Amino acid sequence: MEKLPRPAGSEIPYVGGLYYLLLVGNIPTLEEALEVEKEWKSRSRVPVYVFDTLRAVPADTPALTMFSLAILSLQRESEFAHQYHAGLKKDSYWEPMLEDSLNLTAKLPEIAAFIYRLKYKSGALIPSDLDLDWGANFAHMMGVEDQGYRDLSRLYFLLHSDHESGNVSAHATHLVASSLSDIYYAASAAMNGLAGPLHGLAAQECLDWLLCVYQMYGSVPSKEALRQYAWDTLKSGQVIPGYGHAVLRKTDPRFTAQYEFGMQHFPDDEIFKLAALVYDTVPDVLREQGKARDPWPNVDAISGSLQYHYGIHEFDFHTVMFGVSRILGVSANTVWARALGQPIERPKSLTTAMLEAIAEKA
């Protein structure tokens, strides 16, 4: 992150620079990062029918469902789909895929902020400000006055964009796009995978857990009290949300980046302090218990507490922000999948007899 170009006076890089890196594979110069930001500005207008679609759903529709729906509604704009049906040659598939990816990612901050303001702020919308960069414009449209939120938004979008290709949202994108579906279909599917508690929804559950602990003690508890609480949780057969990861075996670097941001900007925020105390306490408890393969925190253990500090108290929306970021990573991957001519994903299916034979050999 320290190598990516950043706005003057800001410590967190342009998201456009990250997208350049994901697409091209090189650290961009400032001019190259700004080129992506400029592309995004020129493609950012969201068609009115997307907003009409979102206004038409029942008010209690989950925010991520609305986000997935908005992306799917844009599918009619797909350059890839149009050009494919017009007879596009295989070695050019990546070009309209890139167009689609730039068009879709350009619109994500406004779509997400629209959902937030429609759902939680009585529909009082804040117009986009194209003098701002992609990340800062999202913060502006959310209506968060504190300028620190612009940096946090950039940081959040940088950190959640990609994480190997085996996670559900990345894999879902790859699977759907492998049939030569366009990025709108594939990214909408990714959001549906992100909705699960074992994936994107986990961040909400972590924040919920922190708030429950805080409410129970009426303040940040002592380390000893928290240690006892963690043991009680484990002994009752529950897990500590946000601790452990499918593949990581150390503190998730995305946790560390957010922890450092909180320490620098609001070390005395009560919920952040609690998240920090959990980090100081829970890994030892998990190691003593000896059951967890990974006793360390993942990205979700802290992200909600930072959003909470800036007043984003609607948990339901946190997964939308995860989705905005994740589409950066998966859309870039999909452009590459087309450029490399990757085949359809078609796992072999096994009969019960074949599975039994494997089990017998094991």
Report the interface residues with ligand MLT, using CB under 6 A.
Answer: 163-164, 167, 246, 298-299
C-alpha 7/C-alpha 14 separation (Å) is 6
Tokens of 142: 């959310």
Pick between residue 246 and residue 358 the one whose CB is nearest to ligand MLT: 246
Q: Which of 160, 245, 309, 318 is catalytic?
A: 245
Least CB distance to ligand MLT at residue 41 (A): 28
Pick between residue 19 and residue 255 the one whose CB is nearest to ligand MLT: 255
- The reply to whether 163 belongs to the active site is no
Least CB distance to ligand MLT at residue 182 (A): 22
Tokens of 283: 């890994």
- The reply to whether 245 belongs to the active site is yes
Would you state the torsion angle of the CA atoms of residues 148, 149, 154, 155, taken in this order, to the nearest 10 degrees? 70
Pick between residue 34 and residue 321 the one whose CB is nearest to ligand MLT: 321
Tokens of 9: 């006076």
- The reply to whether 171 belongs to the active site is no
Half-sphere exposure of 199 (CA within 13 A, CB side): 22
Q: Which of 162, 163, 300, 318 is catalytic?
A: 300
3-state secondary structure of 199: coil
Would you state the torsion angle of the CA atoms of residues 215, 218, 221, 226, taken in this order, to the nearest 10 degrees? -30
Least CB distance to ligand MLT at residue 198 (A): 8
Least CB distance to ligand MLT at residue 246 (A): 5
Pick between residue 37 and residue 300 the one whose CB is nearest to ligand MLT: 300
Pick between residue 101 and residue 167 the one whose CB is nearest to ligand MLT: 167
With contact defined as beta carbons under 8 Å apart, do 318 and 312 qualify? yes
C-alpha 41/C-alpha 133 separation (Å) is 8
With contact defined as beta carbons under 8 Å apart, do 161 and 325 qualify? yes
Least CB distance to ligand MLT at residue 163 (A): 3
β partners of residue 311 = none
Helical packing angle, 202-217 and 223-235, nearest 10°: 120
Radius of gyration of the chain (CA): 21
Q: Which of 140, 163, 174, 199 is catalytic?
A: 199
Q: Which residues does the annotation mark as catalytic?
A: 199, 245, 300
